[in-house]
């Protein structure tokens, strides 16, 4: 879509491995390619911000330490950096991803800029745990509610997250659903046969899971689903990512005598290459507002087996792109996995369906919704 005006946009996100940072970075990169000037404001270079683009700028938030501070005031440093970046680069708007503490820091920056005679529209995109886990905790809830309501526009990444937000907070504004997206072209299967053969030299099926290994991802379920499959057919499991649940996951693999067929790949940023060798993606999470990792797998033409929590049923279509089961229903998920892996014709049809579904969430389809929203605000 051709836009009428080139915009100068501030993009605020968490830079670490996690869906919200991925979405913010990929959105910024896509907008930069369309000619907009994008200014990332965060405490560390976002991990997917790995290519040079003359339209992309990165401003690091420094939090000076001082012996008095047991808790360095990141939010204050962030708000001040926002003010400086907005003024020095004449930004048109500020888009913050993940409410805490980005929406409240943005509110503070907006008020400071108002005194300078500059009005800066704030867009807050809600991603999931900022609402469902952390945000509704009463330690944060009053500030989260206030700063979301003070945003000029609010978006949520799924209908489920919009509903959850209304359920837990008194939101007076409309929340627009703009779903997450994926660059389908980039995720097209690369068919790196040598890589596949290294992991599965005897033609074993490859199952894969990728996450930040937090409790909510239910890594033990991933391993136990794999065990159900492994008991029946030769297969391998690739676990991508790292986080607090990893030691327990390794222990469980030893306990179930699976270690020789499980690979812990650690944190990886070339997901498209890794996904291209897999047959089936597992995401049995306790909750996912959206499940970007599953969408990326589908874009690589991989069928997915997920729980039915949160917004997962909005992207994974039962008995078409993959299967859904209740959270914790390892037996059903194992049965569904076998149903696909033991029948190549069905598996191939599901893969085709998964890719077709991912195309509905292609970057080219979704990014214009953000541009339209920005233009409306300006």
Q: Is residue 290 a contact point for ligand GMT (CB under 6 A)?
A: yes
The phi and psi torsions of 11 (rounded to 5 degrees) equal: -120, 120
Among 18, 101, 135, 241, binds ligand GMT (CB under 6 A): 18
Work out how close the CB of 357 gets to ligand GMT at its nearest, in angstroms, rounded to a whole number: 15
Work out how close the CB of 162 gets to ligand GMT at its nearest, in angstroms, rounded to a whole number: 13
Give the residue with the Cβ less far from ligand GMT, 208 or 341. Answer: 208
What is the full DSSP assignment across 37-96?
EEEEEESS--TT--S--TTEEEEEPP----TT-SS--HHHHHHHHHHHHHHHTT-SEEEE
Where do we find the tokens 């400071």? 112
Which of 13, 9, 30, 33 lies closest to 22, judged by CA?
Answer: 13
Q: Is residue 127 a contact point for ligand GMT (CB under 6 A)?
A: yes
Residues in contact with ligand GMT, total (CB under 6 A)?
Answer: 20
Q: Is the dihedral of CA 207, 212, 216, 218 positive or negative?
A: positive
Q: Are 368 and 1 in contact (CB under 8 A)?
A: yes
Tell me, what DSSP letter sits at residue 195?
Answer: H
Among 25, 42, 155, 289, binds ligand GMT (CB under 6 A): 289
Binding mask 291-310 for ligand GMT (x = CB under 6 A): xx------------------
Give the residue with the Cβ less far from ligand GMT, 85 or 216. Answer: 216
Give the residue with the Cβ less far from ligand GMT, 133 or 233. Answer: 133
Among 214, 246, 359, 369, binds ligand GMT (CB under 6 A): 214
Work out how close the CB of 234 gets to ligand GMT at its nearest, in angstroms, rounded to a whole number: 31
Give the residue with the Cβ less far from ligand GMT, 110 or 217. Answer: 217
Among 31, 61, 216, 274, binds ligand GMT (CB under 6 A): 216
Q: Is residue 20 a contact point for ligand GMT (CB under 6 A)?
A: yes
Work out how close the CB of 101 gets to ligand GMT at its nearest, in angstroms, rounded to a whole number: 13
Q: Is residue 212 a contact point for ligand GMT (CB under 6 A)?
A: yes
Q: Is 152 helix (H, G, I), strand (E, B) or coil?
A: coil
Q: Are 196 and 277 in contact (CB under 8 A)?
A: yes
Cα of first residue to Cα of last residue in the chain, in angstroms, is: 18
Work out how close the CB of 10 gets to ligand GMT at its nearest, in angstroms, rounded to a whole number: 19
Work out how close the CB of 227 gets to ligand GMT at its nearest, in angstroms, rounded to a whole number: 24
* Residues between 137 and 166 with contacts to ligand GMT, criterion CB under 6 A: 157
The phi and psi torsions of 126 (rounded to 5 degrees) equal: -85, 135
Retrieve residue 268's tokens: 């990886």
Which of 376, 368, 369, 378 lies closest to 2, judged by CA?
Answer: 368
- Contact residues toward ligand GMT (CB under 6 A) are 18-21, 23, 98, 127-129, 157, 180, 212, 214, 216, 287-292
């Amino acid at each position: 879509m051709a836009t009428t005006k080139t915009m100068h946009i501030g993009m605020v996100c968490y830079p670490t491995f996690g869906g919200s940072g991925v979405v913010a970075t990929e959105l910024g990169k896509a907008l930069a390619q369309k000619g907009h000037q994008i200014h990332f404001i965060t405490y560390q270079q976002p991990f997917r911000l790995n290519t040079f683009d003359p339209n992309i700028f990165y401003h690091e938030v420094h939090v000076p330490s001082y012996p008095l501070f047991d808790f360095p005031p990141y939010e204050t440093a962030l708000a001040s950096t926002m003010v400086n970046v907005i003024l020095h680069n004449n930004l048109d708007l500020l888009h913050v991803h993940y409410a805490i503490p980005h929406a409240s820091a943005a509110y503070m920056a907006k008020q400071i800029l108002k005194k300078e005679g500059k009005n800066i529209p704030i867009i807050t995109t809600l991603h999931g745990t900022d609402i469902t886990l952390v945000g509704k905790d009463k330690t944060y809830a009053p500030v989260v509610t206030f700063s979301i309501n003070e945003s000029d526009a609010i978006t949520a990444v799924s209908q489920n997250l919009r509903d959850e937000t209304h359920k837990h907070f008194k939101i007076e504004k409309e929340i627009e659903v703009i779903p997450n997206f994926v660059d389908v072209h980039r995720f097209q299967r690369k068919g790196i046969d040598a890589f596949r053969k290294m992991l599965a030299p005897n033609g074993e099926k490859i199952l894969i899971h990728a996450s930040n290994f937090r409790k909510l991802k239910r890594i033990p379920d991933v391993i136990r689903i794999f065990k159900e499959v492994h008991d029946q057919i030769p297969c391998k499991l690739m676990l991508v990512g790292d986080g607090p649940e990893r030691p327990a996951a390794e222990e469980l693999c030893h306990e179930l005598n699976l270690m020789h067929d499980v690979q812990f790949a650690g944190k990886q940023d070339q997901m498209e290459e890794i996904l291209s060798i897999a047959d089936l993606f597992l995401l049995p999470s306790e909750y996912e507002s959206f499940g970007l990792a599953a969408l990326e797998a589908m874009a690589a033409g991989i069928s997915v087996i997920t729980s039915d929590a949160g917004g997962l049923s909005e992207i994974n279509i039962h008995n078409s792109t993959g299967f859904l089961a209740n959270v914790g229903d390892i037996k059903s998920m194992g049965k569904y996995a076998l149903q696909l892996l033991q029948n190549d014709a069905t598996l191939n049809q599901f893969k085709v369906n998964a890719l077709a579904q991912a195309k509905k969430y292609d970057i080219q389809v979704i990014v214009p919704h953000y541009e339209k929203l920005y233009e409306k605000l300006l």
